[in-house]
Amino acid sequence: MDKIKIIGGNRLNGQIYISGAKNAALPLICASLLTDETVTLTNMPMLSDIRSMNALLEQMGTQIDSFDDFVDGHATKTYSYRTQKFSSLIAPYDYVRKMRASYYVLGPVLAREAHVELSLPGGCAIGARPMDIHLSSLEQMGATIEIKNGYVHADIKGRLKGAHITFHTASVGATCNILMAATLAEGETVIENAAKEPEIGDLIDLLTAMGAKIEGRDSSKLTIQGVDKLHGAQHKVIADRIEAGSYAIAAAITNGRLELINAQASTLRTPIEILRAMGVSVEEGKDSLLIDAKGKTLTGQDIMTDYYPGFPTDLQAQFMALMTVSEGASLVTENIWENRFMHVPELMRMGANINVHGHASAIVRGVKRLSGAPVMATDLRASFALVLAGLAAEGETVVNRVYHLDRGYEKLDEKLRAVGADIERIKEAD
């Protein structure tokens, strides 16, 4: 498995292009399963999760073509998807275990083909993430659900039926899945307490372009009028707000100055407020952010994760890394996932002063300097937190198990090296 070696202490300076959003791209890919016509997605990130999803769809019969492309002078990918006929209605374990987001095939395939079998998904080990909301909602729409031998078996007679569904929690995954299923259901579907993340808005935009009838974008109540058929469309994937936030923190933790091209300030309101409160200068452009921490003394701030537009759980670990070298004490409260402090022991190996209280909160007291050390990545966002700590630390840090990073950060070492980081990817034989 590859490693990343970092010699800390370099101030970052320059421009970083923010890639298309992984968390938007994955449900967009699955939305292509709702039609037998071609769906083309531009500004696609080049990530292992995208390759995993593509492999799953190809196994089910989707024809996929990829093209090298450029957005604002930056290399990216365009993919076209066409599923004229399914060769399989099974999402097998060997594919699904690599990536939890594989469950996005559930709603579209069931809605179009009246049957689907899905291996119970894998992904990051950040706590229990049950599929109960997905399954109970599909049952309300007339599906028969059975779980046996590690697989979800879902069937319907005829078409899914519109229903009035209230989520007990604002699940992003369930919102995407039921939204896609409802586009081909008979009658009207209402989703109450729907998640409002920008990635869901991006999915709604694609589905609308495909002929879906959806009201309530950016609200907690979505109303979908089912249609008989959807058609092909072309769509540009939105910028990755989590990648943008991660690199903004990289500028802050190195007392550097980075311009983030293609970053959307409107999707990062709460993290931007926290950065400013810490003492970081954040200048908002039309499609950019200028993060300037040169000569700044940063002070710790309390953060509490919440559903969008609250503070994103996917930036909690990265902000905690920043708090470890900020003056004073910070309280970090995790309200989304119960096991998302696995990066704490690794940060403490580097000299961080962190006290975890239960499963939901941690007090971080800033230290003058972290020390480089060998550390182990535990999940995607924790991996980047360790990279951040390595950038700020004195000496050498080696981050192991970087396959986590490959799932969500495109060309991370190249992007950081281009703005002054002393970072190297060490290839190792499997």
CA separation for the pair 133, 411 (Å, rounded): 35
Half-sphere CA count of 387, side-chain side, radius 13 A: 30
Helix (H) or strand (E) holding 67: strand 63-71
CA separation for the pair 399, 376 (Å, rounded): 6
Write the single-letter amino acid at 77: K
Query: Do 41 and 60 sit in the same domain of this protein?
Result: yes
pLDDT tens figures, 312-323? 999 999 999 999
CA separation for the pair 74, 155 (Å, rounded): 44
Q: Domain containing 81: what range? A: 24-236
pLDDT tens figures, 5-42? 999 999 999 999 999 999 999 999 999 999 999 999 99
Angle at the Cα of 39 (from 37 to 43), degrees rounded to 5?
170
Among 180, 208, 236, the domain boundary falls at 236
Q: How confident is the model at residue 125 (pLDDT cuts 50, 70, 90)?
A: very low
Count of C-beta atoms within a 10 Å radius of residue 288: 18
CATH number of the domain within which 35 lies = 3.65.10.10
Query: Do 312 and 330 sit in the same domain of this protein?
Result: yes
pTM of the model: 0.95
pLDDT tens figures, 278-287? 999 999 999 9
Write the single-letter amino acid at 402: V
Query: Do 151 and 266 sit in the same domain of this protein?
Result: no
Query: Do 161 and 99 sit in the same domain of this protein?
Result: yes
Res 429 pLDDT > 70: no
Q: Is 124 annotated as catalytic? A: yes
Q: In what order do the strands lie in the sheet with 288-292?
A: 13-17, 257-261, 288-292, 281-284
Query: Do 215 and 328 sit in the same domain of this protein?
Result: no
Query: Do 226 and 108 sit in the same domain of this protein?
Result: yes
Q: Are 288 and 261 in contact (CB under 8 A)?
A: yes
**Mean pLDDT calculated for residue range 71-88:** 91
Query: Do 293 and 158 sit in the same domain of this protein?
Result: no
Query: Do 72 and 208 sit in the same domain of this protein?
Result: yes
> How many domains is the chain partitioned into structurally?
2
φ and ψ of 326, to 5 deg? -105, 150
Q: How confident is the model at residue 75 (pLDDT cuts 50, 70, 90)?
A: confident
Active-site position among 124, 320, 322, 405: 124
